[in-house]
Structure 1
Amino acid sequence: MSCSTENKARKWQRRKEYLRRAHQHNHSGLLSEPKGTRAPATSPKACEIAHAPSQPCIKVHICTFNSCGTVPCGDDLDRLLPTPRPDILAIGLSEFGMSLEKTLINKRTLRVLSRNWAAEVQQRLGADQFTLAASRQLQGLLLVVFARVDLPYCPLAVKTDAVATGAGNVVGNKGAVIVKLFLSAQQSADSDGQQHSIKVDPNLHKRVSSTTKDPHQASLTFVHCHLAAHPRNTKRRNQDYERILTTSRLLQHVSRHRPSKSRNHRPRPARHHHHHTTKRRSRVGVFRRFQKLYRRREKDTFRDTRGPVFLFGDLNFRVQCGNRAYCDRLLAMGRFDELLHKRCQLTRQLLHNDDSDDSQGSKESLGEIETVSRAPPWSEWKEAPVFFPPTYKFDMGTSVYDTSDKQRIPSWTDRILWRSDADGLHQINCQAYDSIPSVKSSDHRPVYASFDIRLGSTDGI
């Protein structure tokens, strides 16, 4: 008898013995259950969520302001800061302290100015109560995030990024700055079982990516944008938006459209390289391999935590209304919905009722980004109801909309959106969404939103 035949015979004997014992135990009542007493099947993940203690609610306040080359200070700065103070405060500024010419020349001076301004904000919040968790700047774009020192979630680390979408996708007068906070959704407990908050490390924004994996890890992502201007550039704004999502490594899980080759893409013809280029090509290959290893290690350190993402800033979407007098009459009557739902370039995409060529998901409108649906690019984002008047464009220092020769149509260019891809695991409630009309130092008005958030664990997502 061959070896394989002997193995099959032994397996069959073991199976017969197992079935015989199971039959005996079942008849003796060891495996039988009274009818109706069996517990319903529950997945381990469901059991974990069902028995997990309720997570604390954190208050997040977001403010966006196009300062039109100025630096908010004095009473204007006080108006930007909320009362009562939240747990996390994110402030995004566009055109901070400079024009385009100053952007290209005085980068070092601008960085010093932003550091001093962030220190002033922290001083007004209370240096003993708030710490600067993160700060990122791209020329005139500035995003600062402050956190309470007694934040009810354990802070793990912070990562930042920036994407330029200006001229040639190089100039940073347009683009986005991103801050991602990694938090532990599980509170620590004292010996008596009572939960307590954990102090935020004052040097959190300097910490490197060396944190070990946490099964209760969650994240909060803040994306401050300044997109292309002018009413006719809806297509360009959507392209900038897609570039930001697909370029930043912190937003890869947010992007609905993955960068891929178009169906019409033609491979480049082969070129005959000379021998003197071999050494240079090998050096480039080595660099890319090390770069991939670094990114892989970084990705292993922090999993793809799909926590809430907040996108805000001067998105520059306009109200399409050819008659300024008609628009002024609607605003005077408080009929904001008619302008927002029917004529606002962004709101129509959020409501998924934009029939324009820019939102049909064609490869022509999104360049090399091949879409998988015909939904508008912004249709997956959420926004609270807008009850405040347009925030652009005002005559400087007044509450009067543009009286120049251009007679620009008043528009809601400054917006705050959010989304979460964790299938309802996180609870996000917007408590307030409004503008600050008393700040008149710019041709824009600041916009703020306050949120109550309960973070769930993203383990296994």
Structure 2
Amino acid sequence: MVTATAIADLCIFLLTWNVGTHSPRNQDLNSLLSLNGTTTCPDNQLPDIYVIGFQEVSTTPQVLKIFHDDPWVLKIADSLHKQQFVKVDSKQLQGILITMFAQHKHIPHMKEIETEATRTGLGGLWGNKGAVSIRLSLYGTGVAFVCSHLAAHDEKLKERIEDYHQIVDNHKYNAQGYRRIFDHDFVFWFGDLNFRLSGDMSAWDIRTDVDNQRYAELLKLDQLNLLREKGNAFSLLEEQLPNFAPTFKFEEGTNDYNLKRRPAWCDRILHRVQSNIYPGITLSANQLSYQSHMDYSLSDHKPVSATFNYKVETANRTYTDEELHEMTHGSASSPATPNREPEKGK
């Protein structure tokens, strides 16, 4: 009988939120970070790792001079400190920010941590749009977390596709065997991707469908879903279809849509696992939740979170994560070449 031994069995919490340049000063993040008993991790435990992406954080010089870290990172750190979490790393590109926190016991199993950023605004000259990322060896496997903010507005679909390909092409790391995003064994990509609904439904008609929870019908018009089916962008990634209302655009401070824009699922979380590229080792990332957080009305976007059960298992063999790291990141490492997305326009 084949038995599996777990090298790692973690719950990873991902969050994306476009905060519209607002300060976190008066925000209580306990509910948002599942610190109030609402965790979706197995056995109601807290996540092992938090990776949080923000868009449109304030970039005023006064803020940047006063704080070494962005106020949002400091707010998260304050919320998680009592639970013995430590900051692993952060990366900011103007208003785009990614930060990672982990339970202290996991820190020895994190190696070759790198951050990267790609500007896509104004043809790559401006960082108001683009992506930031954190990559690392996590229990021996290569993992990349990418937070992006793509071109806005209904009519800018072509620009969003171009932004995506520019990020994929320009994001480069130093880790051997993991130079690019999709070289990684695990990829988690999230952010304000800004995809809208195709067609010409009015904002009022979309709101009526939302009020009646006809999400499945609306998601047939979702640009991200249509692109992934055609292979134009994001086709290497998977997404659990949202079962929550569109997260944009709200009147700030309320749960009422601002119908100057058509409601859309702009804020998304996708992932990819190369599950069987190492002999005798199985990688998996079972998604446990995908939800919006309607109680938070700071900006015109609602936060979106997801939890994943990240597992690294071996069959009838016992590897340490050090040995797995040598296999994946070491000098003899040559991971299977991942599938590549077709070139844009093909």
Q: Verify: 1:93 aligned to 2:16, yes or no.
A: no
CA deviation after TM superposition for structure 1 residue 78, in Å:
2.7
User: TM-score of the superposition, structure 2-length normalised?
Assistant: 0.80
The CA deviation at 1:115 is 4.0
Higher relative contact order (CA 8 A, sep 6+): 2
RMSD, aligned α-carbons: 2.5
Cα contact 2:193–2:266 (8 A) shared by 1: yes
CA contact (8 A) 1:426 1:454 kept: yes
Looking at structure 2, the residues matched to 121 and 70 of structure 1 have their Cα atoms a distance apart, in angstroms, of 15
Q: State the number of aligned residues.
A: 301
In the aligned structure 2, how far is the partner of 1:96 from the partner of 1:222? 19
* 1:79 alignment partner, one of 31, 35, 41: 31
Deviation at 1:107, TM superposition (A): 8.3
The residue number in structure 2 matching 1:235 is: 158
Instruction: Give the distance between the partners of 1:107 and 1:66, measured in 2 at CA.
Output: 21
2:19 is aligned to 67
More strand by share: 2
| CA–CA separation in structure 2 for the residues paired with 1:394 and 1:127 | 33
| Bigger Rg, structure 1 or 2 | 1
**Is the partner of 1:334 in helix, strand or coil?**
coil
The one-letter code sitting in structure 2 at the alignment partner of 1:449 is A
The change in CA–CA distance for 1:423 and 1:233 in structure 2 (over 3 A counts) is farther
Which residue of structure 2 aligns with residue 408 of structure 1?
Answer: 261
CA contact (8 A) 2:64 2:70 kept: no
How far is 1:421 from its partner?
Answer: 3.1
CA distance in 2, matches of 1:179, 1:385: 25
Q: Secondary structure of the equivalent of 2:126? A: coil
Shift of 1:111: 8.0
Distance of 1:171 and 1:107 partners within structure 2: 20
Distance 1:156 1:181 in 2: 6
Q: Which residue of 2 aligns with 1:379?
A: 235
Q: Write the letter of the residue equivalent to 1:222.
A: F
Are 2:302 and 1:445 equivalent residues in the alignment?
yes
Stretch deviating more after TM superposition (169-178 or 51-60): 51-60
Contact 1:79 1:439 in 2 (8 A): no
Q: How does 1:264-343 map to 2 (within 5 A)?
A: 298-300=174-176, 306-320=184-198, 321-341=200-220, 343=221
| Pick aligned residue for 1:393 from 249, 253, 268 | 249
Question: What are the equivalent positions in structure 2 for 1:10-409 lying under 5 Å apart?
Answer: 53-83=5-35, 84=39, 85-98=46-59, 102=60, 106=61, 109=64, 112=67, 114-126=69-81, 129-151=84-106, 154-184=109-139, 217-250=140-173, 298-300=174-176, 306-320=184-198, 321-341=200-220, 343-350=221-228, 352=229, 354=230, 375-403=231-259, 407-409=260-262
Give 1:380 shift.
2.0
> What is the correspondence of 1:412-427 to structure 2 with a 5 Å cutoff?
412-423=265-276, 425-427=282-284
Indicate conservation of the 8 Å contact 1:97/1:110, yes or no: no
AA matched with 1:380: L
- Given residue 303 of structure 2, which amino acid in structure 1 is its aligned partner? P
Separation in 2, partners of 1:183, 1:327: 42
Structure 1's unaligned 5+ residue stretches are 1-49, 185-216, 251-297, 355-374
Compute the displacement of 1:408 (Å). 1.2
Amino acid at match of 1:376: N
CA distance in 2, matches of 1:401, 1:380: 32
Q: CA offsets, 1:57-99, max 9 Å, x none?
A: 101000000000112243443333123421110111100024x
Matched letter for residue 453 of structure 1: Y
Q: Give the letter aligned to residue 311 of structure 1.
A: W
* Inter-CA distance 111–90: structure 2 relative to 1 (3 Å threshold): farther
Distance 1:246 1:430 in 2: 27
- Call closer, same or farther: CA 1:435–1:95 in 2, change over 3 Å: same
In the alignment, the residues of structure 2 paired with residue 389 and residue 242 of structure 1 have an alpha-carbon distance, to the nearest angstrom, of 28
- C-alpha deviation, 1:128, in angstroms: 6.7
Question: Does the CA-based 8 Å contact 1:153-1:183 persist in structure 2?
Answer: no
One-letter amino acid of the counterpart of residue 147, structure 2: H
Cα 1:402–1:125 change in 2 (3 A) is same
Find the residue that maps to 1:70 and give its secondary structure: coil
Residue identity matched to 1:183: L
Structure 2 residue runs without a partner (length 5+)? 40-45, 314-323, 329-333, 336-346
Query: What is the SS of the residue equivalent to 1:122?
Result: helix
Structure 2 distance, partners of 1:335, 1:301, is: 44
Amino acid at match of 1:384: Q
- Which moved further from structure 2: 310-319 or 114-123? 114-123
C-alpha distance in 2 between matches for 1:348 and 1:303: 29
Structure (1/2) with the larger helix percentage: 1
CA distance in 2, matches of 1:303, 1:412: 31
Contact 2:88–2:102 (CA under 8 A) maintained in structure 1 = yes
**Residues in 1 aligned to 2:262 and 2:34: alpha-carbon distance in whole angstroms:** 30
Distance, in Å, in 2 between the alignment partners of 1:177 and 1:111 is 22
C-alpha contact 1:133 1:147 (8 A) present in aligned 2: yes
- Paired residues of 1:161 and 1:248 also in contact (CA < 8 A): yes
